[in-house]
Amino acid sequence: MEDLDQERLIEWVIDGFRRILVHYGIWFNEAAHQLGLHKAFEMEDTVGRKCLAIDMKRLGDILGFDVDDAGIPALLKRLSKQELLELLRGLSVNWLANDGIWFQEIEQEEELFTAKRCNDTCWTRFSPYEAYRIKRLCNLPEEGGLPALKHALSYRMYSRINKQSFEEIDGHILIFKMLDCRVQSARKRRGLPDYPCKSAGLVEYTTFASAIDKGITTRCIACPPDEHPDDWFCAWEFTIHD
* pLDDT tens series, the chain, 242 aa: 899 999 999 999 999 999 999 999 999 999 999 999 999 999 999 999 999 999 999 999 999 999 999 999 999 999 999 999 999 999 999 999 999 999 999 999 999 999 999 999 999 999 999 999 999 999 999 999 999 999 999 999 999 999 999 999 998 999 999 999 999 999 999 999 999 999 999 999 999 999 999 999 999 999 999 999 999 999 999 999 87
Write out the residue range of the structural domain in which residue 119 sits.
Answer: 88-242
Q: Are residues 124 and 224 in the same domain?
A: yes
Non-local CB neighbours of 56 within 8 Å, separated by 6+ positions: 67, 71, 72, 73
Q: Are residues 100 and 174 in the same domain?
A: yes
* Three-state secondary structure call for residue 36: coil
d(CA 121, CA 176): 23
Yes or no: say if 135 and 215 are a contact pair by the CB < 8 Å rule: no
Res 61: pLDDT: 96
Evaluate whether residue 137 is within a structural domain. Answer: yes
The domain that contains 227 carries what CATH number? Answer: 3.30.1380.20
* DSSP assignment of 194-223: PP--HHHHHHHHHHHHHHH-TTEEEEEEE-
Q: Are residues 74 and 94 in the same domain?
A: no
Q: Are residues 145 and 185 in the same domain?
A: yes
Total domain count for the chain? 2
Which segments of 110-181 does DSSP mark as H helices, in order?
112-138, 145-153
